[in-house]
Amino acid sequence: MDLTQPNTDGISSFENLLANIILRVFVWVIACVTCFGNLFVICMRSFVVTENSQHIMAIKSLCCADGLMGIYLFFIGAFDLKFSGEYNKHAQVWMASIQCQLVGSLAMLSSEVSVLLLTYMTLEKYLCIVFPFSHYGAGKKRTLSMLVVIWLLGFSLTLVPFWCKESFGDYYGRNGVCFPLQSDETERPGARGYSTGIFLGKESSGHGA
């Protein structure tokens, strides 16, 4: 390893996990806004009386998923402070650590569940608008079942790389921020295909929603 050059993936530098001051400041700002903003919405929705309790359940679930991304950013900011000034000494150990694996899986869970929830909520509203006189109206039990299925699917997508270490390798340790959605020639074919598939799936779901 050439210690005269930054050990960088575009985000990290030789000295710091987050390469520049803008990233270091905004990771804390966005983490605070994300966590407290979603917590505020959950609290407000809990006190607002509405007839559409199913929609409120979905909104709260979405806030929980988005809040996980704020927690992820808090962890990244904290480890950036921990390694401040000497990140390159700890880079390889950090990316291979269980902490990085868990932080990366938290970000993965948040992003996947958020997209799935938005897709479900959009589809539900679409059906209610297009077929206003149908008997589709999702009841509380059906909505709760769908939310459970979405979270279980999100957990499954997140845990697959842990179950298949031979195919995925160090899936959540490819960069300093432990976020796995990337594709490069050094990745194992299984991990590269998984990342590409999830990325394309999220893009199509996001555009559809």
Helices (H), the chain: 21-47, 53-82, 87-96, 98-130, 140-163, 165-168, 189-208
pLDDT tens digit sequence for 64-73: 999 999 999 9
Domains and CATH numbers, the chain: 12-205 (1.20.1070.10)
| Average pLDDT of the residues of the chain | 83
**Which pLDDT value is given to residue 130?**
80
73, 104 Cβ separation under 8 angstroms: no
Measured torsion, CA atoms of residues 62, 68, 70, 72, in degrees rounded to the nearest 10: -150
**Which pLDDT value is given to residue 69?**
96
**Which pLDDT value is given to residue 135?**
58
* One-letter amino acid of 116: L
**Which pLDDT value is given to residue 183?**
55
pLDDT tens digit sequence for 132-175: 766 555 678 888 999 999 999 999 989 888 887 777 777 888 88
pTM: predicted TM-score of the whole model, two decimal places = 0.83
* pLDDT (average), residues 93-110: 93
